Amino acid sequence: MDLPVVGLVGGGHLSRMTYQAAVSLGLSLRVLADASDDSAALVANGVVVGSLTSLADLAALAEGCEVVTFEHEQVPGELVRALEENGHKVYPSSAALLHTQDRLVMRERLSALGAPVPPYAVVSSAEDLSGFAASYGWPVVLKAVQGGYDGSRARVVASLSEAEDLLAGGVRLLAEQHVPVRRELAAVVARSPYGQAAAWPVVETVQADGSCVEVIAPAPRLSDERALQAQELALDLANSLGVVGVLAVELFETADGIVVNGLAMRPHSSGHWTIEGSRTSQFEQHLRAVLDYPLGVTALTAPHVVVATVLGGEGEPELDKRLHLLFGRDPALKVHLHGEAVRPGRTVGHVTALGDDLAETRDRARVGAHYLRTGTWDPS
Amino acid sequence: MDLPVVGLVGGGHLSRMTYQAAVSLGLSLRVLADASDDSAALVANGVVVGSLTSLADLAALAEGCEVVTFEHEQVPGELVRALEENGHKVYPSSAALLHTQDRLVMRERLSALGAPVPPYAVVSSAEDLSGFAASYGWPVVLKAVQGGYDGSRARVVASLSEAEDLLAGGVRLLAEQHVPVRRELAAVVARSPYGQAAAWPVVETVQADGSCVEVIAPAPRLSDERALQAQELALDLANSLGVVGVLAVELFETADGIVVNGLAMRPHSSGHWTIEGSRTSQFEQHLRAVLDYPLGVTALTAPHVVVATVLGGEGEPELDKRLHLLFGRDPALKVHLHGEAVRPGRTVGHVTALGDDLAETRDRARVGAHYLRTGTWDPS
């Protein structure tokens, strides 16, 4: 077929699910993975095993590809730029991607655009941090300016002494006001080079121990006005930052409104529900966007869609046996497993429940994920 | 992960789509393909390139697999039996599969079970055929007792002279009454070794030039009574024949009722609509069945689901350009391409339309498939 080859940097489960979408479209998707037992490398044909910090490996991936894209933000910006300078089409571009790699750049740009962000400052000393806390109060959220993944490497500190090791670590730090978060939301959109964009309904995301454990689509009890505000914000940011592909805008909902917590320019955990829950999945949409195909409709296939993350539990997982029993209990639950070796706390996969009743749908997803983790039915 | 390895004989597009379903479940699916550029081999990791008529190649596929299954009926029965005798679990079993490989065995068994079949007889001479026609009239349908795929190798003959070459060919022939077909239907079900079974709604299939070009789910204007009859027939046959996996029962609807035209014990073209149109696709269901997992729900995700087959057209297909324009015209159409080189008349893929209005949904699917084939919008 005369269909394009897409290069995808990263061998994780986001690549794995993008690969499934590429198969439907008849595309060749070439994956750059760290190791042959990475989640995507276990299933993909045409894997380049190499390092995302090696320009030679990135160039080997890009050779002959119509476009190169990413499943994470970890490729060093100078290597993305080098690919671009060598004539490769890269989406999202290095200029757009920088906003996911450098939190200061992101905060400054969003502030300039008038997007709602918590008050922030770069702090490099105890004096800086004291000054920030004097203005915005303790506790303060400290994050590395660069690095981290899905909001990790953030720490809430209640006093100077709790920040001592961070300040002494020599890493550039961003201090942010600790906003009183009612809940977390995410607005996921996609944008093509042509400028077309599409938004899914705003979702609620539930975090535990620093990772996303539940996504509820659409976000319950969210006013139409605020939902529209969040979607417009995400679409505006996609346009202003020149994003091509999926953009997930992680939001805090506070008593006063919403503020941006983070950005991801790729398929995101807050969009897994779209595989069965929307007529176009985030994985298909990301491919359509980076290839500048017209985007797919984002209509829902059920009133409520809930995704629960399956984490690795203690001991022998017995997944085969548990799948049997789970499917027996809930023949409508959809299961997605990453295929990698199971380790405690590592994401093993996710389950998706679809239904007419929100409480029941949430319960089914939670029970399913808990059972696959533990082999017991009661998640309470 | 401690999940089973499934061996799948056949590298075509049915294997390709089964592979996508296996990826979600975390299963390892090992494919036996004729060549590395077969549809499934283009995307699958862990392909065994070999021949389905070689016991050594089949054994290489089966080694370490929890179960071996098929995407077609073409593996010689004695080789399937040899795998079984060597201790491999094979679903459907050689005993069940025989009913898809030998039309006489199938007709005799179905007659014995009281299933509705057209009158038939084995004919090996002009006298036999004359005698059959004397009882049931011309024209007569002649089929090879063994061989063929998806109903091919059948010929309608209006006189002895039209059958001369077939009778002289030395192939065992089955003569069937040429029943006046109003339309074709298919009842697709799945059954597990445990004995659990699940049925999708009965669909209408539209054939042209010997291949299925359109599937409409559920079959329009089909009475509840007849739909139930067809589903019960398929479930009864699955049970009586000991089918494990998907069973597609191809049916003729006549003025008087339904008769069985053929059987397939695998995912089937009449079930492609289930990928987006049902909560459990036929590909996932086939895997669940052969692994003896409880089966998934078969609820529909839209009132009407229509699949149109994309055939290869003349000249340069320009699929990339056509996908762009098609997605622009119909952002809700779902496209599945097989990835192989495009040749005139060969199946290139299928498109699926889902909607509330049957006529509009059919039109969208037909226009989409026609456009991908020809680059023109008017399918009339």
Domains A119-177 and A183-374 share a fold: no
| A340 at interface of B, judged by CB pairs closer than 8 A | yes
User: Pick from B16, B301, B302: which is nearest to A23 by CB?
Assistant: B16
Best B42, B45, B307, B352 member to test A by mutation, with max A CBs in 10 Å, is B45
Contact B24 A323 (CB under 8 A): no
Q: What is the pLDDT of residue A159?
A: 94
Q: Which helix (H) or strand (E) holds B28?
A: strand B28-33
Around A159, how many Cα atoms within 13 Å sit in the side-chain half-sphere? Answer: 2
pLDDT tens digit string along A198-215? 999 999 999 998 889 999
d(CA B86, CA B74): 20
Residue B2 has what pLDDT?
80
Please report the residues numbered 289 through 308 in chain A whose beta carbons come closer than 8 angstroms to any beta carbon of chain B.
Answer: 292-297, 299, 301-302
Q: Which pLDDT band, with edges at 50, 70 and 90, does B253 fall under?
A: very high
pLDDT bin (cut points 50, 70, 90) of residue A371 is: very high
| Range of lowest pLDDT (A229-233, A264-268, B125-129, B243-247) | B125-129
| Chain A contact for B1 (CB, 8 A cutoff) | yes
Q: What pLDDT was estimated at residue A380?
A: 81
Least Cα separation, residue B4 to chain A (angstroms): 7
pLDDT band at A284, cuts 50/70/90?
A: very high
Q: Identify all chain A residues contacting B294, using CB atoms and an 8 Å cutoff.
A: 324, 327-328, 331
3-state secondary structure of A259: strand
Q: Is B240 on the interface with A (CB under 8 A)?
A: no
Instruction: Please state, in angstroms and rounded to a whole number, the distance separating the CA atoms of residues A133 and A119.
Output: 11
> pLDDT tens digits for A85-125?
999 999 999 999 999 999 999 999 999 999 999 999 999 99
Could you say which of B26, B294, B328 has the minimum Cβ distance to residue A328?
B294
| Per-residue pLDDT at B251 | 98
Q: Which backbone phi and psi does A279 adopt, to 5 degrees?
A: -65, -25
Q: How many A-B residue pairs are in contact by the CB < 8 A criterion?
A: 145
Q: Is A368 on the interface with B (CB under 8 A)?
A: no
Say which CATH class B119-177 falls into. Answer: alpha beta
Residue A148 — very low, low, confident or very high, per pLDDT cuts 50/70/90?
low
A112 inside 8 A of chain B by CB: no
pLDDT-derived band at B156, boundaries 50, 70, 90: very high
pLDDT at B151: 43
Whole-number Å distance between alpha carbons of B310 and B351: 7
Chain A residues touching residue B293 (CB < 8 angstroms): 323-324, 327
Closest-CA residue in chain A for B340? Answer: A1
pLDDT of B118: 95
Confidence label for A153 from pLDDT (cuts 50, 70 and 90): low
Which chain A residues are closer than 8 Å to B297 by Cβ? 331-332
pLDDT for position B153: 65
Which CATH code fits B5-90?
A: 3.40.50.20
Residue of A nearest to B291 (CA): A324
Q: Looking up tokens 């081999």, which residue turns up?
A: B41
Residues of A in contact with B296 (CB under 8 A): 327, 331-332
Per residue in B318-337, pLDDT (tens digit) is: 899 999 999 999 999 999 99
For residue A293, the chain B residues in CB contact (below 8 A) are 323-324, 327
**Cα dist from B120 to B130, B183, B233, B341, whole Å:** 13, 20, 20, 40
Token code pair at residue B291: 């692994």
pLDDT at residue B342, as a whole number: 87
Distance from CA of B2 to the nearest CA of A (A): 6
| Mean pLDDT score, A240-250 | 98
Chain A residue numbers with beta carbons less than 8 Å from the beta carbon of B340 are 1
Interval B252-265 mean pLDDT:
96
B5 dihedral zone (left: phi>0; alpha: psi -120 to 50; beta):
beta
DSSP-derived secondary structure letter, B300: B
Tell me whether B377 touches chain A (CB under 8 Å).
no
Residues 13-72 of B with CB under 8 A from A: 16, 19-20, 23-26, 28, 41-45, 47
State residue A379's pLDDT score.
Answer: 86
- A4, closest residue in chain B (CA to CA): B320
A152, pLDDT greater than 70: no
Question: Helix or strand or coil: residue A84?
Answer: helix
Class of domain A183-374: alpha beta
Which residue in chain A is spatially nearest to B31 when comparing CA positions? A43
**Distance from B194 to chain A by nearest Cα, in Å?**
12
Give the closest-approach CA distance of A19 to chain B in angstroms.
9
Work out the mean pLDDT of chain A and round it to a whole number: 94
CB contact under 8 A, B2 and A319: yes
DSSP A147-170: --STT-SEEEESSTGGGHHHHHTT
Report the percent of chain B where pLDDT is more than 90.
88
Mean pLDDT of chain B: 94
Instruction: Tell me, yes or no, if B316 comes closer than 8 A to chain A by beta carbon.
Output: yes
Q: Which amino acid is it at B64? A: G
Domain ranges for chain B: 5-90, 119-177, 183-374
How far off is chain B from A222, nearest CA to CA, in Å? 25
Residue A151 has pLDDT above 70, yes or no: no
Q: Would you tell me the crossing angle of helices B103-112 and B94-101 to the nearest 10 degrees?
A: 110
- Whether omega for the bond prior to residue B344 falls within 30 degrees of 0, making it cis, is no
Residue A342 is predicted with a pLDDT of 87
DSSP state of B375: S
